């Protein structure tokens, strides 16, 4: 048993996940928490191939590639950080697979099956927001995946599927917090997420 805490920040492309993870790290470190930020797909060979290879790899092939990157990520980075007692903040995780691979025509049962050995986060925070704004942000950042194409209509489908997946995770006994960012600033979003994250870490540290 470790004293580390595993928290995931997930949601549609352009909703603000990366900014929120960065701000959470800053706030928690200021409070003295040992924080380890990370993301998926990783910057390793498997992750880079998955991130930039979406026009080449599709369906079950891409789903398996993403899962392989996840297992390597857990072995090489996440579990060692947790064993060291750190609070791991991961930008994207299982919810992304359950959304994007399903949009790619892969059945949910298959996605769950190939991820069945993946560690369960202590908390999955799913951010949702205005699809038009999210897609605009993603486009401004640079589109490297076919999942980012399609404009506002595609963004609406993605957002709605994240909400559905959040309910599925709850049904599977995952700890989930869904937060609609609305017109909130990143700082306001962080303020909404911090209490539950602090509580997890305080409880684990005292156990």
pLDDT of residue 1: 40
Question: How many domains does the chain divide into?
Answer: 1
Q: Which of 84-88, 180-184, 198-202 has the highest mean pLDDT?
A: 84-88
Residue-wise pLDDT for 117-168, tens only, equals: 999 999 999 999 887 777 676 666 655 677 777 777 888 899 999 999 999 9
* Residue 46, domain CATH: 3.40.50.300
User: Which residues does residue 207 pair with via DSSP β-bridges, in sequence order?
Assistant: none
Range of the domain at 186: 5-205
Residue-wise pLDDT for 35-94, tens only, equals: 999 999 999 999 999 999 999 999 999 999 999 999 999 999 999 999 999 999 999 999
């Amino acid at each position: 048993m470790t004293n580390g805490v595993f928290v995931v920040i997930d949601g549609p492309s352009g909703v603000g996940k990366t900014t929120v993870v960065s701000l959470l790290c800053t706030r928690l470190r200021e409070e003295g928490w040992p924080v380890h930020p990370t993301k998926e797909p990783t910057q390793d060979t498997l992750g880079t191939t998955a991130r930039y290879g979406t026009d080449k790899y599709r369906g079950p092939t891409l789903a398996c590639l993403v899962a392989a990157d996840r297992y390597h990520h857990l072995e090489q980075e996440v579990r060692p950080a947790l064993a060291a007692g750190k609070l791991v903040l991961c930008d994207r995780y299982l919810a992304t697979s359950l959304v994007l691979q399903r949009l790619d025509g892969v059945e949910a049962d298959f996605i769950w099956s190939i991820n069945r050995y993946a560690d369960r986060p202590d908390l999955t925070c799913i951010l949702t927001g205005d699809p038009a704004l999210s897609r605009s942000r993603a486009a401004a950042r640079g589109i490297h995946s076919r999942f980012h194409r399609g404009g506002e209509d595609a963004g609406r489908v993605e957002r709605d599927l994240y909400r559905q997946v959040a309910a599925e995770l709850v049904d599977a006994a995952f700890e989930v917090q869904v937060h609609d960012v609305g017109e909130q600033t990143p700082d306001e979003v962080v303020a909404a997420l911090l209490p539950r994250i602090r509580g997890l870490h305080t409880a684990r540290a005292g156990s």
